[in-house]
Structure 1
Amino acid sequence: MGYIHVYTGNGKGKTTAALGLALRALGYNMKVYIAQFLKGMDYGEIHSLQLFPNVTLERFGRPKFVHGKPDEEDVKLALCGLNRCREVISSGEYDVIILDEASIAVHLGLFSVQDLLNVISKRHERTEIIITGRYAPKELIDAADLVTEMVEVKHYYAKGVQARKGIEF
């Protein structure tokens, strides 16, 4: 039986934890699908994931951060991604499905929490779903079987250290 995981909070490591689970699944020859919302920039994980034949990665974001209110293109890409996830989740083709930054997409109003809940409710009973992103709404937390909150205790960003290639991106 598959479960729903939510990795949320203001600390670093949500996507990293989800990718660690994907790596574990790949070690047992499972099929993994990853949808990245709001991420269109170059990240190290993109290069690494291309080395694995059992991973499908699709990205539904532009190559820039969304600051403030998202624009029409951000909404269009997110809805396209959510529709694609609906197909993938209901197919039963994948053992593990990661919806990276889906919580933040809800928070920014790119799609509703109810839309997200409707999509994940269509999953095959054996499919594991992992949803990442800050600000996971209560409805999503209530629907999840496992919730982990990453809490920032200390971060070198506060000292002005910029994101580093291979470490943060």
Structure 2
Amino acid sequence: MDFWQQLGTTIVGAFAGAGAALVTGFWVRTNEAKTKERAALNGLLLDLQLKRAFAPTTPQCVDAAAETLDYKQCRDSVYDSRKLIRDVRLQLRPKSKAFDHLASMSAACNTYLHSARVQPDTYQNLLEALSASLDEQAKKLGVLKGVEYRRPGSFAYSSPNPQLPASE
């Protein structure tokens, strides 16, 4: 080979190698972002699954509910859930299919907090409606690849892992 052939081969090889490195880097970053998003969504659904406020109950009207400890704990749990949803929403990739579902979950929490403040005696009925709304969105999230559906409140009083006793 003469000098110009060697130079041409070297330049083409360098550009091909750089191009391959760029494509590989983009692919790795995309997969890492997808994995991070799935982990965040699965973590959120697990956190909601363990919330006592969303556990199925028979709702009752409670006189002077705003003064009860249960009312305050449920309100705080909904505030915490809204924060968890927001934290996960911030971890989503741009144009994620999960964004609208998380926005609906946040809106449902806001609706509960407003309604419970206006009508505290009906907070248990409002919690049941909130739980149903969160469950509807959780089902839609569970359809996404790599995300496992978990019903909010379903493991509030038991272990999500059948091998572990409920006390752990």
Q: In which range does the TM-score fall when normalised by the shorter chain?
A: under 0.3
Judging by fraction of residues, say which structure has more strand. Answer: 1
- Structure (1 or 2) with the greater helix fraction: 2
Q: Which has the larger radius of gyration?
A: 2
Structure with the larger RCO, 1 or 2 (CA within 8 Å, 6+ apart)? 1
Q: TM-score, normalised by structure 1?
A: 0.26
